[in-house]
Structure 1
Amino acid sequence: MSIHSREQVGQLIDGKAIARALTEQIGQEVTSFIGQGNPLPGLAVVLVGNDPASEVYVKNKAIQTHRAGMRSFMHMLPESTTQDELLDLIEQLNANPRIHGILVQLPLPRQIDPVVVTNAIAPHKDVDGLGEVNAGRLALGTEGIVPCTPLGCLMLLKSVHQDLTGKHAVVIGASNLVGKPMAQLLLKENCTVSVGHIHTKDVRGLAREGDLLVVATGKHGLVRGDWIKPGATVIDVGITRVPTPEGRTRLVGDVAFDEAVKVAGHITPVPGGVGPMTIACLLHNTLQAAKVTQKIIRGSDVG
């Protein structure tokens, strides 16, 4: 889909359409998986606290899980939940054979250490791919569960470029959630990868070198049009709600879209770009986790 303007503009990467196609494909694979005598894949999502945005996001995950033909388990815990209480729940979910994927919605309240919680999830059920085992596997280039958002970003890049080999990919943002795993995925695709972060001296100059530019900083409008190499493919992971002059709010990304779209070859919008892909990739990871679980069960039966 292209934007029509008198000025030269980039092509929009339709994350909604790509996510819809992926979800439909997953639904077909789930039907086939069950038809082979396997159990219905189950996803448990845990939300601690009552953050309205997180509540909406979690409920949307449940809806999409059902649409893909999988079972959804919701656990809504109060803000006062202790770390030990949350770890006890995760232990129960790890042991539950009906649950193949576990996701604890971040951020967590201050009294809970997200690293401890993430690592408590059984690696084969860690559908967010953030535990040390899966992060290590990604770093080594071996098989594991890949974090949903970076995986979705990679799929969006591949919707434009079938082969990423040799391209200079620049990732702005070095978080454990997106930036670091994104860089690892791009290395696996034979890209030359540069990572810019808060201490990079000339992050604008670095960004302008990227044939592929993935931005995940949490600072809306950071990347301006003159940060982008003409014709580059831009993936905007950021999403922030900002007020409008009319007294309402709207969602914006880390990239100044109106400027960037005049320079980029392809670009994701916010909303409608990375967000839908994150949920679709969560469903993808849940199905893969269910398949791995069945292999583990069959292996124990043989032994």
Structure 2
Amino acid sequence: MRPFVYERPEDEAGALATMVRPNAAFLAGGTNLVDLMKLGVSAPDILVDVSGLPYRDVEELPEGGLRVGALVANSDLAAHSAVQAAYPAVSQALLAGASGQLRNRATVGGNLLQRTRCRYFQDVAKPCNKRAPGTGCAARDGEHHDLAILGASPQCIATNPSDLAVALSIMDASVHYAGPHGAAAVSVHDLFRRPGERPDRDTNLPRGALITAVVLPELPIAATSVYRKVRDRASFAFAAGSVAAAVEVRDGVVRDVRLAWGAVAHLPWRAWAAERALRGAPATVDSFARAADEELSAARPLRDNAYKVPLLRNLTVEVLREMTS
């Protein structure tokens, strides 16, 4: 690990001022950044420790919904009674990630900003456009069992590793941040980027921006939400595929539905086409399968990850079947 300067600002203004300096990085729980530093993937000259800033509360908003501070620990948010009651998929997604020890340390803001676990991104001896733009994508002809089938580009087939982001996608959550030009917010749908020509950029946040909170709007359908994750082992493993879902059925007809998939793209994949196909359709296995097929028609699997197409189809059908039985 390269030498670096460690600073612990007393307030938000101090944190933002420090980030103006070249090659600085925010540090909160450190469960991803420190690993990347050990691997040589990330080599900041300055670590700006924001763990002492006042972003650790979960607040019920007057107009409904929740404001979750960016430094709330994943384990604390998963156990929060208001989250379990009104947004159960969020709690389930958090509990599906990492281990108990890591969830105690990892933060909500850091969870959203964690970087891909693609083995070529993490191996500095291999070419990777995400780590070193213009060097190529070794994953395309290499081992890509866990990588993207949707929304990828010739430059990158990495997947977003966050379980939480998938659940937040169906909640229409917004991410609030402080930046060089003041406070702002962005929908979780607009936070993340497809790789395109710039796979080195994971999000649309301005440089030096500091996530301060995530806001979950009041959303009655979210109270029925579910997060289901498929992985190679029972715990402490990233997803091979996952589904976040919420559905409202009346008189046997799907009146509203929200679907998002994880581990299939550079970002949490909101299944808009499947949702359109399901609204107004009978709440049947055949309808669920047709909707999943509609969404998966855009999939472009490679040699080793074509299994994700039937996996996501079957997982979506089974989750919706269970929710509507």
- TM bracket (short chain): under 0.3
TM-score by length of 1: 0.25
TM-score by length of 2: 0.24
Which one has a larger percent helix, Structure 1 or Structure 2? 1
Which one has a larger percent strand, Structure 1 or Structure 2? 2
